[in-house]
C-alpha cells in the first residue's frame, strides 16, 4: 500500500535525447508526487512536483505526466544534458501531509555526449 515502484533502475541517454523515468503507486490516498534529484555526494533536492488535479506539469526541460486512473506518473527530461546525470527519485505522500514521503528506489541517469 505504501510502496512506490520506480523504473528503470538505470538509464543511459544520448545528449539531446529524452529521458523517461516511470513510477507506479498503489495507495489512492497519495495526493502529492514530487521528484527529487541527487548528485553524487549531495542530498536529494526537489526538482518538480505535481498534485492529482492536473495531468501534466512542466518546468523548463522537466515535465511530470500523471495518470490518475493508472496510478502512474513519470518524469520526462527533454534535450537531456550531461549535467542532468544524477540519481532521480520519485516519491509520494498522503493527503494529510503527516506521513513522510515514500520514495521509489531511484534511477541512475547517465547522459553521454
| DSSP state for residue 78 in the 8-state scheme | S
Decide whether 17 or 108 has the Cβ nearer to other proteins. Answer: 108
Query: What is the contact surface with other proteins in residues (CB under 8 A)?
Result: 6, 9, 31-32, 34, 36, 41-46, 49, 89, 93-106
**Cβ neighbour number for residue 34 with a 10 Å cutoff:** 19
Shortest Å distance, C-beta 56 to other proteins: 19
Shortest Å distance, C-beta 38 to other proteins: 8
Decide whether 17 or 71 has the Cβ nearer to other proteins. Answer: 71
Shortest Å distance, C-beta 84 to other proteins: 19
**CA separation (Å) from 11 to 80, 85, 99?**
12, 10, 30
36, 37, 33: which is closest to 52 by C-alpha? 33
Amino acid at each position: 500500500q505504501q510502496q512506490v515502484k520506480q523504473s528503470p533502475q538505470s538509464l543511459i541517454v544520448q545528449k539531446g535525447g529524452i529521458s523517461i523515468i516511470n513510477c507506479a503507486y498503489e495507495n489512492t490516498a497519495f495526493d502529492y508526487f514530487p521528484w527529487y534529484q541527487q548528485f553524487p555526494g549531495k542530498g536529494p533536492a526537489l526538482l518538480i512536483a505535481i498534485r492529482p488535479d492536473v495531468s501534466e506539469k512542466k518546468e523548463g526541460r522537466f515535465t511530470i505526466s500523471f495518470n490518475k486512473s493508472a496510478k502512474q506518473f513519470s518524469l520526462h527530461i527533454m534535450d537531456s544534458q550531461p549535467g542532468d546525470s544524477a540519481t532521480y527519485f520519485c516519491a509520494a505522500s498522503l493527503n494529510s501531509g503527516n506521513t513522510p514521503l515514500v520514495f521509489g528506489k531511484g534511477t541512475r541517469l547517465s547522459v553521454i555526449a
